[in-house]
């Protein structure tokens, strides 16, 4: 009897080991490389290098009378160009993104009531099917908080999760008809305030993955220079700062699995002018706020020879100082892209997202990201 029990235990252990190995293989999914393409930029989407991307998010659709819709005359043509990229990359997924900084003003209203949530969810499906998208991405900036003239209310925290649940049910119903899985994703803020005003521990259950906007730590509201996308906290920081590492840690603490977290990287910098000329402009007051500067434009500026290249080793962040014009630029270089790709892999994250494709027209950053993610 004892020998029979031992034999059965051995069989069970063997079966468990086989199951564990199978799970490891199933969980070893390729890392995502997700690029936003902005329809309002003067850029031809057919030039997107689809071979280097797993997902494209087309931005943005607006909310009008409780329904989601595209507002630009060029949207249909640009969307068709993106969908056509599947001919070169059949595995490519193309989603459309709703909201963004300017068009998040109606989210709180549509999320507030059961009837408006259903109406919005149904319109998401209609627009998705009309253009042949693979899913929907919500960029609500921000639930429960002030942003760009957006409505917000205390109940946004609960209503956001309810809205995502309604959209997920609508996507699954459509998916059963089409025998496919449609994606639902969101873009999230990187600070503690975003975590406090949402319930990501519950919300993530409706989501395929979450694009964490690990940038704009110092931005267009700040008359103060600083790193806008540093990977780690800076020992030079004089104020309450942020970092990519901290942003990811907050999401993990909120209950989101690491594999669902996508680290966002910027293909642009932030520029301040008339900066107090101390410490090469870092963490100094300025007469302007931090405006967005495309990566390609920063490369052009460097040709003047007026900018000193600097690096904050503690933050793993590059910056530029033009003493002649008192101009400070926080920017992302291939060095930072490579470090963040390593961070993503070391911490078991789901991949990388970037804003925005046209800002890196020579693909220097994209090439680094693709290569680093693949290694």
3-state secondary structure of 169: helix
Q: Which of 20, 141, 300, 346 is an active site residue?
A: 141
- What is the rounded end-to-end Cα distance, in angstroms, of the chain? 52
Q: Let me know if residue 294 belongs to a domain.
A: no
pLDDT score at 240: 84
Annotation says 141 is catalytic: yes
Confirm whether pTM is higher than 0.85: yes
CA 319, CA 234: separation in Å to the nearest integer? Answer: 13
Q: Cα torsion at 41, 265, 107, 133 (round to 10°)?
A: 60
Q: Let me know if residue 124 belongs to a domain.
A: yes
- The whole domain housing 344 covers 28-266+333-374
3-state secondary structure of 63: strand
Q: How far is CA 188 from CA 143, 224, 303, 315, in A?
A: 10, 23, 35, 22
Q: Please, is 224 exposed, middle or buried when counting C-beta atoms within 10 Å of its C-beta (0-12, 13-18, 19+)?
A: middle
Tell me the β-bridge partners of 347. Answer: none
Tokens of 200: 């990501």
Q: Let me know if residue 297 belongs to a domain.
A: no
Q: Let me know if residue 1 belongs to a domain.
A: no
pLDDT tens digits in sequence order for the chain, 375 residues long: 333 333 333 333 433 433 333 222 234 579 999 999 999 999 999 999 999 999 999 999 999 999 999 999 999 999 999 999 999 999 999 999 999 999 999 999 999 999 999 999 999 999 999 999 999 999 999 999 999 889 999 999 999 999 999 999 999 999 999 999 999 999 999 999 999 999 999 999 999 999 999 999 999 999 999 999 999 999 999 888 999 999 999 999 999 999 999 999 999 999 999 999 999 999 999 999 999 999 999 999 999 999 999 999 999 999 999 999 999 999 999 999 999 999 999 999 999 999 999 999 999 999 999 999 999
Q: Let me know if residue 317 belongs to a domain.
A: no
Give me the residue label for tokens 């639902």: 184
**Cβ proximity of 61 and 97 under 8 Å:** yes
Q: Let me know if residue 111 belongs to a domain.
A: yes
CATH label of the domain that carries residue 134: 3.20.20.80
Q: Let me know if residue 304 belongs to a domain.
A: no
Find the helix packing angle between 364-374 and 334-346, rounded to 10°: 30
CA 240, CA 69: separation in Å to the nearest integer? Answer: 38
CA 96, CA 60: separation in Å to the nearest integer? Answer: 7
**Cβ proximity of 280 and 308 under 8 Å:** yes
Handedness of CA 106, 174, 90, 31 (dihedral sign): positive
Show Cβ contacts of residue 67 under 8 Å, excluding neighbours closer than 6 positions.
119, 120, 123
Say how many domains are in the chain.
Answer: 1
pLDDT score at 20: 32
Q: Let me know if residue 58 belongs to a domain.
A: yes
3-state secondary structure of 355: strand
3-state secondary structure of 121: helix
């Amino acid at each position: 009897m004892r020998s029979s029990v031992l034999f059965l235990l051995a069989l069970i252990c063997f079966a468990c080991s086989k199951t564990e190995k199978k799970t490891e293989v199933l969980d070893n999914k390729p890392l995502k490389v997700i690029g936003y393409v902005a329809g309002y930029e003067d850029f031809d989407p057919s030039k997107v290098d689809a071979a280097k991307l797993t997902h494209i998010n087309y931005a943005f659709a607006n909310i009008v009378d409780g329904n989601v819709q595209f507002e630009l005359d060029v949207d249909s043509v640009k969307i068709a160009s993106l969908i056509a990229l599947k001919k070169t990359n059949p595995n490519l997924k193309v989603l459309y993104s709703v909201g963004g900084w300017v068009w998040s003003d109606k989210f709180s209203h549509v999320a507030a009531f059961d009837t408006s949530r259903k109406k919005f969810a149904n319109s998401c499906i209609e627009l998705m099917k009309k253009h042949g998208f693979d899913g929907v991405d919500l960029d609500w900036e921000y639930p429960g908080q002030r942003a760009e003239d957006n409505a917000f209310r205390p109940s946004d925290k609960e209503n956001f999760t309810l809205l995502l649940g309604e959209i997920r049910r609508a996507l699954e119903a459509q998916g059963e008809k089409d025998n496919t899985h449609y994606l639902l994703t969101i873009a999230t803020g990187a600070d503690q305030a975003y975590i406090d005003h949402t319930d990501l521990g519950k919300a993530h259950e409706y989501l395929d993955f979450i694009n964490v906007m690990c940038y704009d730590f110092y931005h267009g509201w700040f008359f103060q220079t600083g790193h806008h996308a540093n990977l780690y906290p800076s020992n030079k920081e004089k104020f309450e700062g942020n970092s990519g590492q901290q942003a990811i840690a907050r999401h993990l603490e909120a209950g989101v699995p690491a594999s669902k977290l996508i680290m966002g990287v910027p293909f642009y910098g932030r520029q301040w002018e008339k900066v107090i000329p101390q410490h090469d402009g870092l963490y100094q007051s300025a007469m302007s706020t931090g405006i967005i500067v495309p990566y390609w434009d920063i490369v052009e500026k460097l040709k003047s020879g007026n900018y000193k290249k600097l690096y904050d080793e503690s933050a793993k962040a590059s910056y530029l100082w033009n003493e002649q014009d008192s101009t400070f630029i926080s920017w992302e270089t291939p060095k930072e892209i490579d470090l963040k790709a390593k961070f993503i892999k070391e911490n078991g994250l789901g991949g990388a997202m970037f804003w925005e494709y046209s800002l890196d027209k020579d693909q220097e950053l994209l090439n680094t990201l693709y290569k680093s993610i693949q290694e």
